[in-house]
Structure 1
């Protein structure tokens, strides 16, 4: 995403005197500093996450006949590599150059060559000039957007890059549970590194500031917007996605505040209103 130039070789994050006032979409570039990105795979633990997810995303994509996938928040490449290994045609995008560099290296270490592009979601189609069967935005990445018009614009860009019967898969933390009941986590699906602690340092209706503490006692922070489930689904509908299924920790049926993470699967295919009734 666009923003002021950041020296990506820096090892320290910068949030100013009062970190809880940093609620800017473009600030994430200053959060994903090189030293944090180098530890990201330790937080995820690829092998454990692969096991915890099972075939959920692969089965969903195959059920819709998907062949070409745009991973708009590829991070260090986990899902891009996962889908490549399953036979999908994947283009990997991210706004953070350090993430893209690590993703490319991770893929190469596993015998794959990623097609990568640095792209701002709000102007995605300026950079990506192809159509896809699916767009995936995973890893709680959508919560880096702090302004509603940024969220609407990004969703519209995803919609535009999809084929007429394409799907969007977007996930998020279950912020309803965090806001309404406080934070708890089974720590078994997304952030699977056993020795890494990921927990909120500050939460209000406009900010979820998470701290990530590693075994070497180093710690990093991410400032994110706490999306509520109904709000996210409403934005998707208003952009044009007619049918949306939401899964909790990869399950179709769940109690509202039980899951750690939610996955929304939104269909672009258009039906006239009289055909729905």
Structure 2
């Protein structure tokens, strides 16, 4: 399962919580995923902005920006960037980097923005984790409404077929002295990852849960949302998408 998911989460020792109020608002989320390949991510954004031929100082929205690392890089490329995320803790951290052309705000991606953007990026599988599946369509419509007349949007999602073909059912990752026991499986049309660990004498159990959306699923939703799918790529070098082999499902639309 892709290591960059920002999905549904719950702690079994606490009352049931919605996806946005638990796992990726904890420090443990950032500890577990601290070794992500950010250089690869920057190469992806270099390729993406070049492909889209965005003008200097274009207004770019980084939707589900986390702590803002990619928003910061996009800003360094010369764009006027807003990073938006539902995690108040992440936005508080990201906001330390605010400048005249880089801003951050807490925002629910199901809601359109008042401003219009030349490009909207939803990167690293930050889609498909709503309990109500209608919210996925609602999010697509909100993205469409937030685009300028000539704007482009990008969703970078996992390639479900490839993920399921290469799924590692169980493993243990030790990061900062914490043993994270990971279990991955498909359940009710969702790719799930149980994350079980102990720290300071306390036991934790979170579950990531992402809808196993295929290209066909996205095409159906986009048609309903009135979105025009322009191009599809299969990796961060923007190579052709192959259903059974490609690491990513990257969709460019307007």
Q: Matched residues in 1 for 2:213 and 2:149: separation? A: 27
Change (3 A) 1:178 1:243: closer
Matched, 1:16 2:19: no
Aligned length: 230
Q: Matched residues in 1 for 2:144 and 2:159: separation? A: 23
Change (3 A) 1:112 1:209: farther
Deviation at 1:93, TM superposition (A): 0.5
Does the residue aligned with 1:164 lie in a helix, a strand or coil? strand
Deviations 1:110-143 (A, max 9, x none): x887411111122x23xx3211111111120112
Change (3 A) 1:266 1:54: closer
TM-score by length of 2: 0.76
Q: Matched residues in 1 for 2:243 and 2:21: separation? A: 32
TM-score by length of 1: 0.70
Matched, 1:92 2:51: no
Give 1:239's aligned residue. Answer: 225
Unaligned stretches of 5+ residues in structure 2: 1-8, 169-174
Correspondences of 1:1-277 after superposition (within 5 Å): 14-16=10-12, 26-39=18-31, 42-47=34-39, 49-51=41-43, 53=44, 55-62=46-53, 67-105=58-96, 107=97, 114-122=102-110, 124-125=111-112, 128-179=113-164, 181-183=165-167, 201-210=184-193, 221-250=207-236, 251-267=238-254
Change (3 A) 1:157 1:203: same
Give 1:274's aligned residue. Answer: none
Moved more, 243-252 or 85-94: 243-252
Please say if residues 162 and 244 of structure 2, whose CA atoms lie closer than 8 Å, have aligned partners that are also in contact: yes
